[in-house]
């Protein structure tokens, strides 16, 4: 606005109006400035917030993408592991199945027999079971044969009918005649088994053989006497030394009686019941 002339009749009025307008203009400028400052400050804050918000959103998106990627990787890994586990499981099941089959095969028991002829001409069968070619005797036939199987089931002792011969078989069916063929009295007189049995058919030279361990067999005999009727003695044959004896160890000496029965076999010997009295024969 131009400055009014001092010669104007309303000079004072115009000057007051001019000053008022100037004050209004200054006030407007100040208001505009304040508004501008406020708007600039607000805009700056909004921009920062927007930037932070965008960064936050970006971070969330990236995190989510990473998580999805990780989940996918883990899922693929789990699937692979599951497949491997299933394969391993199947292999394990197959192996276990094979192991069971093999175990069954290992435990498969077969039976066999040796057909042998005794010295008297009688034919018998030595029956055995076999696991992995490991043989164990189980029975001897016919039923008329008196026999005993050793504790390890690797030996059989057989009493031959008629001759009273004592025959030992190993696990391969090899025959060994372990009979006491003769007896020498304290006076030096020799008595032959065959001649004594032939003369007295009821005489008991050897009866009821029984293993007490892998190296010793006991049996009953009327030896060393020929005239004591029903009295029988316990004799022992030692396989390793090939010795027959009736004076037994363990302080037993001569063990004899009219009624002799065998009891339980213990680790320290065989229980023998003689006329009702129990003794342990080693």
Q: Of 74, 108, 142, which residue is a domain's last?
A: 108
- Check whether residue 270 and residue 238 sit in a common domain: yes
The tokens 């109006």 sit on which residue? 17
- pLDDT value, residue 92: 54
Q: Of 88, 108, 128, which residue is a domain's last?
A: 108
- pLDDT value, residue 71: 52
Nearest 5°: the CA angle 13, 19, 21 is 100
Dihedral pair phi/psi, residue 222, rounded to 5°? -85, -5
As a whole number of angstroms, the distance between CA 114 and CA 257 comes to: 37
- Check whether residue 60 and residue 117 sit in a common domain: no
Q: Lowest-confidence range among 76-80, 150-154, 162-166?
A: 76-80
Q: Band the pLDDT of 83: cuts 50, 70, 90.
A: very low
- Check whether residue 225 and residue 252 sit in a common domain: yes
- pLDDT value, residue 133: 86
- Check whether residue 91 and residue 119 sit in a common domain: no
- Check whether residue 82 and residue 132 sit in a common domain: no
Q: Of 43, 76, 108, which residue is a domain's last?
A: 108
- Check whether residue 144 and residue 215 sit in a common domain: yes
What mean pLDDT do residues 179-201 have?
95
| Residues facing residue 112 across a β-bridge | 128
- Check whether residue 134 and residue 88 sit in a common domain: no
Q: Is residue 157 pLDDT above 80, yes or no?
A: yes
pLDDT in tens, 38-56: 666 655 544 445 344 445 5
pTM of this structure: 0.62
Domain that includes residue 81, residue range: 1-108
Contact (Cβ atoms closer than 8 angstroms) between residue 216 and residue 238:
yes
- pLDDT value, residue 240: 97
Q: Is residue 156 pLDDT above 90, yes or no?
A: yes
- Check whether residue 21 and residue 135 sit in a common domain: no
Residue 251 exposure: Cα atoms within 13 Å on the Cβ side:
1
User: Given phi > 0 = left and psi -120 to 50 = alpha, else beta, which region is 229?
Assistant: left
As a whole number of angstroms, the distance between CA 126 and CA 116 comes to: 8
Percent of the chain with pLDDT over 70: 68
- pLDDT value, residue 276: 94
As a whole number of angstroms, the distance between CA 114 and CA 159 comes to: 17
As a whole number of angstroms, the distance between CA 27 and CA 20 comes to: 10
- pLDDT value, residue 50: 39
Distances (CA, A) of 24 to 17, 21, 29: 10, 5, 8
As a whole number of angstroms, the distance between CA 264 and CA 282 comes to: 12
pLDDT in tens, 87-123: 555 555 555 555 555 555 556 779 999 999 999 999 9
What mean pLDDT do residues 61-78 have?
49
- Check whether residue 100 and residue 185 sit in a common domain: no
pLDDT in tens, 130-140: 998 899 999 99
As a whole number of angstroms, the distance between CA 129 and CA 104 comes to: 16
Contact (Cβ atoms closer than 8 angstroms) between residue 170 and residue 152:
no
As a whole number of angstroms, the distance between CA 5 and CA 274 comes to: 170
As a whole number of angstroms, the distance between CA 54 and CA 60 comes to: 10
Q: Is residue 86 pLDDT above 60, yes or no?
A: no
Q: Is residue 231 pLDDT above 80, yes or no?
A: yes
């Amino acid at each position: 606005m131009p400055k009014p002339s001092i010669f104007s009749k309303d000079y004072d009025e115009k000057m007051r109006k001019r000053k008022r307008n100037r004050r209004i203009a200054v006030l407007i400028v100040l208001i505009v400035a304040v508004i501008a400052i406020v708007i600039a400050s607000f805009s700056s804050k909004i921009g920062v917030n927007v930037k932070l918000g965008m960064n936050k959103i970006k971070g969330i998106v990236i995190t989510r993408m990473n998580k999805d990627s990780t989940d996918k990787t883990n899922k693929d890994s789990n699937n692979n592991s599951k497949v491997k586990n299933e394969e391993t499981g199947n292999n394990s099941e197959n192996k276990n199945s094979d192991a069971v089959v093999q175990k069954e095969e290992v435990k498969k028991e077969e039976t066999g027999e040796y057909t042998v002829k005794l010295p008297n001409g009688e034919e018998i069968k030595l029956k055995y079971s076999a696991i992995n070619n490991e043989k164990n005797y189980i029975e001897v036939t016919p039923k008329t044969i008196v026999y005993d199987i050793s504790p390890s089931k690797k030996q059989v002792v057989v009493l031959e009918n008629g001759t009273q011969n004592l025959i030992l078989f190993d696990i391969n069916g090899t025959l060994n005649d372990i009979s006491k063929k003769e007896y020498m009295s304290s006076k030096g007189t020799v008595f032959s088994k065959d001649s004594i049995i032939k003369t007295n058919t009821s005489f008991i030279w050897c009866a009821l053989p029984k293993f007490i361990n892998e190296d010793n067999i006991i049996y009953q005999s009327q030896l060393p006497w020929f005239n004591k009727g029903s009295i029988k003695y316990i004799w022992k044959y030692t396989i390793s030394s090939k010795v027959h004896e009736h004076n037994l160890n363990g302080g037993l000496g001569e063990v004899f009686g009219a009624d002799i029965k065998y009891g339980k076999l213990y680790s320290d010997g065989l229980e023998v019941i003689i006329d009702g009295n129990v003794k342990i024969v080693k």
